[in-house]
Structure 1
Amino acid sequence: MGREGMRAGDSDRQRVADQLKTALDEGRLDLNEYDERVQRAYSARTYADLDGLLDDLPGTVPPRQSQVQPHAPAAHPAAAPVGRDARGHGGRHTFQSALTAFLICTVIWAVTSFTAGHAYYFWPAWVLIPVIITGVGALTERGRRDR
């Protein structure tokens, strides 16, 4: 009797399940295929049953040799230079974002007021406060650059 006919143990089934989990994490298996193979792994009786589950999967690659680059954490916003956001954009970008948010809120207010048949309290005015603040900041930054 060869190795394929020998009975597998719990640790053998667990090792195969761990390798299947790694293949799932690497994107080599979809969730349904992973689930099916894990069920077959835990119900396997022989090494041949287990080997068939891994035949089409390559071995795992150590992280230091993989092509995946580790994620570099973003700088904390407090570390950004004065007058710039966390991505290094100046006040103009922040002003445009705040203005966009204000316009979206205004459209929502207009649609809800129109469908109700009367004007509701103009709550987008509260969103206008950051627009004004960032607009003043953008103008101040532009004035500093022009000097």
Structure 2
Amino acid sequence: MVASPEMRASDGDRERVAAALREHMVDGRLDVDEFNERLEQVYKSRTYGELARVTSDLPATDLNTLPATKPQPKPSKDPKKARDELRANWAIWAMASSINWVIWLIVSTTSDGSVYPWPLWVMGPWGVVLLIGTLSQAAGGNRR
């Protein structure tokens, strides 16, 4: 079935025309500014006729052979790298907590009376977040 110019275009149709425009830009038929203008027109187009006008002065491209772009899945993280990052985060947490406790100890020994152990508020929430990350990584590692 041949699509008439009045027929409404789908998102996939617009993506295929956008892919064709990218190919024409790579081939040097369009400069960046013209590509951006036409790409904007593509995404505003509602019908096949409007899409055809965007590419009417370019060589014919079989839009059915061009894939509609889809978001690429993120590559899975290397388990060793993730484990090293987690260890580094724990080391930073331990260092920051130690510094805070040293400051608290100095303030406590030089002041009159007791000082609230405020470093708990620094290390507590941060530690809980790291613990959750560690446990989820361990659970994910057991599933593989």
For the criterion TM > 0.5, the same-fold answer is no
Which structure's relative contact order is higher, taking Cα pairs within 8 Å and 6+ residues apart? Answer: 2
